[in-house]
């Protein structure tokens, strides 16, 4: 084995040991008896799910993965989520919004950077309804949030009661960097989402608010049927709204 690989494996092993140790301390300190792990299908949530599985096994706690089917996920993402949970032998629960994405678009138009109705109605609301019908007093919600993803997330507490779901929420890889996530996936030979071979991010929600023209062109090339569903949604808007904006100007998908 090459020296560089040995160093990488040793570094990620130490980080994993420290993370699992802290995770176990959080569980024991808060008398947790059930683990929920949000699994979007991205790299960060994959690592958190894998670590949660280790903690679950070590402490003999039930673990449930939760995936939000936003009805606008990148094609293939839901299939990947199901495959991973099956191979890890983790119970998977899939929650959905009251109405699908295209119904909301017809009513309100496409979400934008300043009007992101998608986040609440497609993700938060379904999860609120899910946890509302469960006794989560001794449950722990785990996710893959990392502080270096954005300035806003840097200010998040690592552990605390979630303001929407009213359940104790914990970010086990909060201090990890992107390279740590990649190294963990490599060292543990985890199955990465194949969508990363096409897009910079694998996502459960193809929100146009922060997508670029190039990304939509990649979508058109790789998933033409999905792309044309978005064109159809544009055509139904009586206000002449578009899915994409650049420099404040509308860009219609049919013109790409």
3-state helix, strand and coil shares in percent for the chain, rounded to the nearest 5:
50, 15, 35
List, in order, residues 6 or more apart from 208 with CB less than 8 Å away: 110, 111, 216, 230, 243, 244
pLDDT at 6: 63
Q: Tokens 């699994």 belong to which residue?
A: 39
Q: Is the pTM of this model over 0.85?
A: yes
Q: In what order do the strands lie in the sheet with 34-38?
A: 91-95, 63-68, 34-38, 139-142, 168-170, 159-161
Residue 2: per-residue pLDDT? 37
pLDDT at 8: 64
Please tell me the predicted confidence (pLDDT) of residue 113: 81
Cβ atoms of 185 and 31 within 8 Å: the answer is: no
Handedness of CA 180, 173, 208, 80 (dihedral sign): positive
Each of the 256 residues of the chain gets a pLDDT tens digit; together they read: 334 456 567 878 889 999 999 999 999 999 999 999 999 999 999 999 999 999 999 999 999 999 999 999 999 999 999 999 999 999 999 999 999 999 999 999 999 888 889 999 999 999 999 999 888 889 999 999 999 988 888 888 999 999 999 999 999 999 999 999 999 999 999 999 999 999 988 778 998 888 889 999 999 999 999 999 999 999 999 888 889 988 878 999 999 9
Q: Which of 153, 164, 171, 170 lies closest to 44 in space, CA to CA?
A: 171
All domains of the chain in start order, with CATH: 3-197 (3.40.50.620), 211-256 (no CATH)
Residue with tokens 């670590």: 51
Which residue has 């299939």 as its token pair? 79
Please report which helix (H) or strand (E) contains residue 92, including its range: strand 91-95
**Pair 141, 168: CB distance under 8 Å:** yes
């Amino acid at each position: 084995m090459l020296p560089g690989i040995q160093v990488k494996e040793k570094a990620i092993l130490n980080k994993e040991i420290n993370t699992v140790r802290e995770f176990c301390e959080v569980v024991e300190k808060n008398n947790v008896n059930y683990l929920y792990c949000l699994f979007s299908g991205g790299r960060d949530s994959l690592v958190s799910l894998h670590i949660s599985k280790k903690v679950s096994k070590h402490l003999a706690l039930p673990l449930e993965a939760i995936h939000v089917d936003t009805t606008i996920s990148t094609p293939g993402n839901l299939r990947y989520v199901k495959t991973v949970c099956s191979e890890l032998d983790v119970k998977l629960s899939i929650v959905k919004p009251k109405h699908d994405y295209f119904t909301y678009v017809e009513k309100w138009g496409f979400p934008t950077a300043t009007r992101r109705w998608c986040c609440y109605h497609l993700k938060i609301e379904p999860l609120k309804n899910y946890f509302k019908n469960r006794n989560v007093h001794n449950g722990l919600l785990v996710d893959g949030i990392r502080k270096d993803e954005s300035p806003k997330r840097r200010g998040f507490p690592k552990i605390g009661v979630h303001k929407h779901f009213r359940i104790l929420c914990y970010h086990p890889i909060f201090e990890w960097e992107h390279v740590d996530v990649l190294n963990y996936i490599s060292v543990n030979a985890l199955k990465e989402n194949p969508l990363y071979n096409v897009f910079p991010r694998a996502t459960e929600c193809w929100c146009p608010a922060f997508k670029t023209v190039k990304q939509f062109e990649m979508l058109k090339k790789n998933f033409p049927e999905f792309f044309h569903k978005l064109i159809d949604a544009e055509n139904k808007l009586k206000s002449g709204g578009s899915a994409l904006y650049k420099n404040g100007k509308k860009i219609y998908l049919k013109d790409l």
